[in-house]
Structure 1
């Protein structure tokens, strides 16, 4: 019997974690574009920089996480294949 909540069991799959991380990167990038185009003044500039830094941090952590997963026997083929498999 598996121990953990339904959410923690689903997040144990690398593909699911990858989809969550990529969706957060999309939200961060859209936030950066929105802040850069529509928020006025210094607040817009600082917000855009913060969103870009957040997205870049997620990108780096996903890259390191993917490198660690490459050493396992997981059949992960990338986020696009994960999306196609789930649709």
Structure 2
């Protein structure tokens, strides 16, 4: 019998973690575009740079995590295949 909450058991699956990470990256990029277009002055510039840096950090983490997952026998074939399998 697995131990943990339902959410922690779902996040134990690499595909679910990958979907969550990609959703956060998409949100960060949308935040960068919105603040870059609609927030004036230095606050907009700094906010846009922060969102871009957040998105880049998540991208690097996802890349490293994917490299580590490649050594396992997991059947993960990328986020697009994961979305298609769930739809």
Please, what TM-score do these two structures have when normalized by structure 2?
1.00
Give how far 1:62 is off: 0.1
Aligned match of 2:73? 73
Structure 1 outlier segments of 4+, above 4 Å: none
Aligned match of 1:61? 61
Unaligned runs of 5+ in 2: none
Unaligned runs of 5+ in 1: none
Matched positions, count: 87
CA RMSD of aligned residues (A): 0.2
Q: Distance between the aligned counterparts of 1:30 and 1:44, measured in 2?
A: 14
Aligned match of 1:32? 32
